[in-house]
A and B are shown apart, each in its own frame.
Chain A
Amino acid sequence: MPPTLDTSLGTPTASAVLFFLVIAALTLAVTWWAARRTRSTKEFYAAGRAVGALENGLALAGDYMSAASFLGIAGLVALRGYDGMIYATGWLVGWPALMFLLAEPVRNLGKFTFADVVAFRLRQVPVRIASAFGGILTVLFYTIAQMVGAGNLIRLMFGIPYEWAVTGVGLVMLAYVLFGGMIATTWVQIIKAVLLLFGVSVLTVLVLAQFDFSPPRLYEAVAARYGQAALQPGGLVTDPYDAVSLGLALMLGLLGLPHILMRFYTVPDARAARASVLYATGFIGYFYLIIPIVGFGASALVGRETIAKVDAGGNMAAPLVAELLGGTPFLGFIAAVAFATILAVVAGLTLAGASALSHDIFVHVVRRGHAEDHEQVRVARVATIVFGILAVLLGIVFKGQNVAFMVGLAFAIACSANFPPLLLSIVWRRFNTPGAVCSIATGAGLSVLLIVLSPTVWVDIFHYPQAIFPLRNPAIVSMPCAFLVAIAVSLMAREPSAEAMFDDEKLRTYLGVGAE
């Protein structure tokens, strides 16, 4: 590192290690406490359905606000100005849609996974296999992106080798999920959300204090250093189709993220599910409102050149400005919070992946719905270990690869493969088993195929001169196709048992009659 760059980033300072140990001790103590309360499937997958609306709101926020959105968006704003802010808005707008379209029906109809809702009145075996496939694919791509991000970020912040970082994240996260199930995962996510919101709030106040608490003066400083262009839209959004396609994936993809939908089963009823979305939207919205201030602050106070020198992607913008304004101890705190952020998100993803393997595949496909509760919990724990090891291995396999597109891919699959059957199973009587299976296959297949042929992979990764599919995100094509296939295939044949059960489903959807 050049001598002009006076930073302790990249070395494990005493304060970073201390804060990290405090967070690790606190979360593992919570896990130990939760482990004694985790015996049944209802406790392992759904925290006994005893989580309050505010707690679940915080946990949803903790599940969703990833290190990529904390460090990545601050960095994007720092290096590219206003474009980072456009990006931030996209990450929030799914939440109201989740509330309006799915939160209450999903809570009323399901038990542990979103596949419970899709399979409510359809033939269990094919629909469970298809839904678990869509769910696991979504969670896997999301997890790979998180693990690779975790390895890189921890190496940058603490100087720990990549493989150790990935393995460490895997082991600690496995401890949470394996022993404490959803109860521990929920509290880890709550602790992380509180720490992250607190840390970013302090950082925002420290930045604004440099500008007499006047955002316009901050913008003046940015404009003085990098020109008015830093405060205006740049190259991020140019093609309207591409912009709408990415927007659709971000907005409706949230409605198909298994680890988010699963959190609705931790609250007692639909009313609490609804309230938890309002809290989550508030916390996440607040987070995305203040993150750009941190980013602009980093660019005005630290400078783009310095930020880009530490990490070309800008990921260290927030830690650098934290060190400048709060010294090494505050940098240590922010680094430890970033670490906790990664752990909480990966724990939620692992629990979702494991529940698809154990609850959807083992219980409903292998055992045709008949398995003792204690056996189900044992299988869920085995599935957790399988998924955790897979996550670490994939993290190591994809070391040094450009995996930024994988989050976009996860959202594309979520909105194309998981969201259409969920919505149709709730609202359309004629929706049937072949319709669900074909729509999931179409949504997942098209998402993967089109993203491989798009500039994101075909040009950026395979280095072909010209992409075959012009848009960077496939959602605008793949989601409508999944809906069309679902409707067309459902109309081809009737499934009397599914249609007959629609009445019972309606009572449960709208009145909560029989909801678990």
Chain B
Amino acid sequence: MSSDSKSRLLASPAFHSLVARRWRVSLVLTALLFVLYYGYILLIAVNKPALAASMGGVTPIGIPMGAAVIVGSWVLTALYIVWANRSHDPEVERLRAELARHD
């Protein structure tokens, strides 16, 4: 593969937007993960009674909240996979093919 076609691809708006979009998606999901986990931990640190509130019966709201952090983490991971498979991979393939064609 020629260094010419490489530098053309590196300079192309398509490659720039691929990289920018990849980090935008990653950082938004990372931010949501931080809100989910540190929100839970800090709530425990500063306001324990909030987790002791009853949901009817003895089960306090804290128990489903803990479970929600675990399930939520997995859901965020799954969201990333769906985005990567549907939107990111086809674009990666397209750019790779473009690079190969110019050889």
Contact = CB atoms under 8 A, between A and B. Distances in A.
A305 interface: no
B66 A86 contact: yes
B38 A247 contact: yes
Contacts of A89: 37, 40, 66, 69-70
B87 interface: no
A228 interface: yes
B13 interface: no
B40 A220 contact: no
Instruction: With a 10 A CB-CB cut-off, give which of B15, B59, B77 has the most chain A CB atoms.
Output: B77
Instruction: With a 10 A CB-CB cut-off, give which of B19, B45, B51 has the most chain A CB atoms.
Output: B45
Contacts of A232: 48, 51-52, 60, 62
Contacts of A292: 66
A96 B10 contact: no
Interface in A195-230: 215-216, 219-220, 223, 228
B57 A244 contact: no
Contact of A289 (B59, B70, B99): B70
How would you classify the secondary structure of chain B's contact residues: helix, strand, loop or mixed?
helix
A370 interface: no
A52 interface: no
A99 B73 CA distance: 11
A285 interface: yes
Given A232-B48, A244-B38, A510 B19 contact: yes
A85 B69 CA distance: 11
B58 A82 contact: no
Interface string B58-85: 1110110011011101101110110011
Contacts of B9: 507
B63 A219 contact: yes
Contacts of A512: 92, 96
A357 B84 CA distance: 35
A246 B44 CA distance: 14
A171 interface: no
Contact of A507 (B6, B63, B77): B6
A216 B44 contact: no
Contact of B78 (A86, A239, A278): A278
A274 interface: yes
A240 interface: yes
A240 B10 CA distance: 44
Contacts of A100: 25-27, 29-30, 33, 80
A470 interface: no
A510 B16 CA distance: 11
A274 B6 contact: no
Given A278-B77, A507-B10, A97 B30 contact: yes
B39 to A, nearest CB: 11
A513 to B, nearest CB: 7
Interface string B7-18: 101100001001
B19 A95 contact: no
Given A96-B33, A513-B99, A220 B92 contact: no
B17 to A, nearest CB: 11
Contacts of A237: 41, 44-45
- Closest A-B pairs by Cβ, 10 of them: A240-B45, A100-B26, A232-B52, A85-B66, A223-B58, A237-B44, A93-B37, A96-B77, A89-B69, A281-B77
Interface of B: 1, 6-7, 9-10, 15, 18-19, 22-23, 25-27, 29-30, 33, 36-38, 40-42, 44-46, 48, 51-52, 57-60, 62-63, 66-67, 69-71, 73-74, 76-78, 80-81, 84-85, 89, 92, 95-96, 99
Given A93-B33, A275-B81, 14 more contacts: A85-B62, A92-B73, A219-B57, A231-B63, A232-B48, A232-B51, A232-B52, A232-B60, A233-B52, A237-B44, A274-B81, A277-B77, A289-B70, A503-B10
5 contacts: A219-B58, A244-B38, A285-B74, A507-B10, A511-B95
